[in-house]
Chains A and B, each alone.
Chain A
Amino acid sequence: MNVLVYLIPMALGLGLLGLFGFLWALRSGQYSDVDGAALRVLADDDIDPKPLQ
């Protein structure tokens, strides 16, 4: 059962990583416009329109 001594802290560490990831996303405002984010992904603003014309 000695394996638990490092397995459990590892599991906790991974969980904490997820928690901090969420808190970081919250702080950087990623949840402030949920509807907009769904639509922005469809916009082609990263394609330079000039070469196409």
Chain B
Amino acid sequence: MQETVDLSLFARPSGDGTLGMDLAVEGIACGACIGRIESAVKRLPGVTQARLNYTNRRLHVDWTDGALTPAQILQTLEEAGYHGYPFAPLRAEEEAAAEARRLTRCLAVAGFAAMNIMLLSVSVWAGNSSDITPETRDFFHWASALIALPAAAYAGRPFFASAWQALRAGALNMDVPISLGVILALGLSVVETANHAKDAYFDSAIMLLFFLLVGRALDHAMRRKTRAVAGNLAALKAETAHRFSGDELVSVPVAALQAGDRVLVKAGERVPADGGVLSGVSELDESLITGETARRKVAAGATIYAGSLNYSGALTMRATAADRATLLDEIERLLEQAATAKSRAMRLADRAARLYAPLVHLTAAATFAGWWLAGASLHDAVVTAIAVLIITCPCALALAIPAVQVVASGALFRAGVILNAGDALERLGEADTVVFDKTGTLTLPEPRVVDASAVDRNLLQMAARLALSSRHPLAQALARESASHIPYDVVTEEPGQGVRAMLGGIEARLGSAAFCGVAPVAAGQPGASHIYFVYGSRAATIAIAQKLRPDAAEVVQALRRRGLTLHILSGDRAGAVRPVAEALGITKWLAEVKPAEKIAFIEALKRQGHRVLMVGDGLNDAPALAAASVSLSPIAAADVTQAQADAVFLGERLKPVLDALVIGRRARALMKENLMSAAIYNMIAVPVAILGWITPLIAALAMSGSSLMVTLNALRGGRAA
């Protein structure tokens, strides 16, 4: 049956009769790929534009409507040696791009203003100690005001808006003292300039905005970069489903499936939607959903869930996305509850702001009252109080945490960990207990050959190469052992039984025991499935099972050395969990745990005062991930689960979990150090300000000095774990 591909879901009209599509491109290795990809796609008839963004590995193509189908673009990329994955840009990503442009514009304006005002201010400072005339000084001050006031009104908006929002909600955040400091500094300076005073603080206010915007823009850029990578990975993972339209099979993205669609699920594919089986008999691996590794037999009438792996036969199913299956319903309900519970945890920065803002405002008020009662003029008392507000304006404090976050999330990114949540770093640093799921987390997501050395090497290689021609999951696990990536020429597949081929004039068969004509293994490896291979008179039995991640034992040991308590919570049978726990030396393990019980277990740990890191990949883990203090998920995890995790790690190894904890701890320590040094700075600067000794020059020096100090300190967080 010829299958057509329908990707119209991803093509979006761009207004002038053309359609546009974005693709995540895999396989870009060097700069030369840019030209190769763009010219190949541009040669297609009807393509008006093809532009590859090398930074985020995405290709945007525009073409005249009707001139070609999106599938042709994919095929052209395929022929050029690249894989393209169409994706619909997430709304969140587009909003982040707009926000980044806004921040950069504010940063540019603040930078321009800060430089020009500094130029004028330095002249005034120099002139004040020599022979500047009051008229010239006033002129310089008015010129500064002319630059500073519009610049602050434009570049200060991110802070003013956030402060206003916090105040309206009856809360205090770091932006409240910042906004107040900037506005008062500018207001005071205008009044002082009108009175021909010696000092004005235009430069302090604008420099403060500039430094803070640098921190904010960097933080934002780092987060966008990781989000773009996460978006590409999601596109790479997005699977297609085979939908019947009439009698014809059409390959569509899973997102385009609707309730009532008739869908074919071939052997070796994942079930694309929840639904009921119409025809066919097969076995399903539901480990991604329940953690259970034993397979379930299904036939017509059975209910099946999205994410299950179809093991043996082809199934025709009817999707029922509209009336959600009870399992997903249950998981989503638990998720919501757990997520609201977590949002109550407060971030370090907000805690500092809650402490800091009232303290600063009280100090300023006390300064005013003190000077006034001591007999100073109203003018002098106000000026001194405002100087206190300016000098305590939390430049270093506001940079203390974002600077560390930027550097540490860069280090995490290089270690293969992508942060989803902004405050995950702090929470990672606090974790003292790690709860692992078993299937797909401690073990590799796909099964592997258990003991390759027990089988004759030549036979194993032959079997593995033969397995390349089969879509059966056991065969695919065996195919990973193959040194060659080229399948044998003429291979016949007997659906549900095995594959056979003539190799050098002798028949080779790979498949079930009956298919190979040998006796099945009575009691082989526990928890393993067996696949049989015969080549003439020689035969081999190959055991395939879930295998531990290659560095699981080392990582578990390293975690224990760092004083973390380790648990395993699995939905799988005790017989399957025990060997894993014993191999890793984890004594605290529980098997056959239901999603609600996982939550209860984690809640109990939290009540005892532990900070729990949950590492899991299954749908059954998603609520537990949300309930834990912080959560990690491998990239192979189910979509719902991944969305719930604070961070996602890439690759086959478990080491990123260790790296994440190490970098998180270091980041937290640096954040505390930075908050501490900002506090020390204030302890020195505030008394000076209260005494009324602050000049604009001292304010400028103090502000840049303290900002530089916390930024340099934050850079120490960038080393690899």
Residues of A within 8 A of B (CB): 1, 4, 8, 11-12, 15-16, 18-19, 22-23, 26-27, 31-36, 38-40, 42-43, 45
Inter-chain contacts of A45 with B (CB < 8 A): 35, 39
Indicate if B133 sits at the interface (CB-CB under 8 A): yes
Say if the beta carbon of B72 comes within 8 Å of chain A.
no
Partner of B136 from A4, A16, A18, A32 at Cβ < 8 Å: A4
Contact A15 B54 (CB under 8 A): no
Q: What are the residues of chain B within 8 A of A11 when measuring CB–CB?
A: 116, 119
Chain B residues with CB under 8 A of A33:
53-56
- A16-B112, A33-B56, A35-B55 given; name 7 further pairs at CB < 8 Å: A1-B136, A4-B136, A8-B120, A15-B115, A26-B108, A33-B53, A45-B39
Residues of B within 8 A of A43 (CB): 31-32, 34-35
Residue in contact with A19 in the complex, picked from B108, B119, B120, CB distance below 8 Å: B108
Query: CA A39 – CA B115 in complex, angstroms?
Result: 32
Question: A residues within 8 A CB of B112?
Answer: 15-16, 18-19
Closest to B136 in A: A1
Asked if A42 and B31 sit within 8 Å, CB to CB, the answer is: yes
Q: Are B53's CB and A22's CB within 8 A?
A: no
How far apart sit A15 and B117, CA to CA, in the bound complex (Å)? 11
18 pairs, CB–CB < 8 Å, chain A vs chain B = A1-B136, A12-B143, A15-B112, A23-B108, A26-B101, A26-B105, A27-B101, A32-B53, A33-B53, A36-B54, A38-B31, A39-B30, A39-B54, A40-B34, A43-B31, A43-B32, A43-B35, A45-B39
Q: Give B contacts to A, CB under 8 Å.
A: 30-32, 34-35, 39, 52-56, 101, 104-105, 108-109, 112, 115-116, 119-120, 133, 136, 139, 143, 147
Residues from chain A with Cβ under 8 Å of B115 in the complex? 15
Per DSSP, chain A at the interface is helix
- Chain A residues with CB under 8 Å of B105's CB are 23, 26
Among A16, A26, A31, A33, the most chain B Cβ lie within 10 Å of the Cβ of: A33
User: With contacts A33-B55, A34-B55, A36-B34 known, is A4 near B109, CB below 8 A?
Assistant: no
- Name the distance in Å between A43's Cβ and chain B's nearest Cβ: 5
Chain B residues closer than 8 Å to A40, beta-carbon distance:
31, 34
Asked whether, in the complex, the Cβ of A36 is within 8 Å of the Cβ of B133, the reply is: no
Looking at the complex, which one of B32, B39, B56, B147 makes contact with A12 (CB distance below 8 Å)? B147
B139 contacts which chain A residues (CB < 8 A)? 4
Q: How far is the CB of A44 from chain B (nearest CB, A)?
A: 8
A22 to B105, CA, bound (A): 9
Residues B143 and A39 in contact, CB atoms below 8 Å apart: no
Q: Is the CB of A36 within 8 A of B52?
A: yes
Q: Which residue of B lies closest to A5 (CB)?
A: B139
Cα of A4 to Cα of B108 in the assembled complex, Å: 26
The smallest C-beta distance from A7 to any residue of chain B, in angstroms, reads 11
Give the shortest distance, in Å, between A19 (CB) and chain B (any CB): 4
Q: Smallest CB–CB gap between A40 and chain B, Å?
A: 6
Task: Given A11-B116, A34-B55, verify A39-B34 contact (CB < 8 Å).
Answer: yes
Query: How far, in angstroms, from A49 to B21 measured CA to CA in the complex?
Result: 30
A16 to B115, CA, bound (A): 12
Partner of A36 from B39, B55, B116, B143 at Cβ < 8 Å: B55
Q: How far apart sit A36 and B490, CA to CA, in the bound complex (Å)? A: 44
| B contact residues around A19 at 8 Å (CB) | 108-109, 112
By a CB distance below 8 angstroms, the chain A residues around B133 are 1
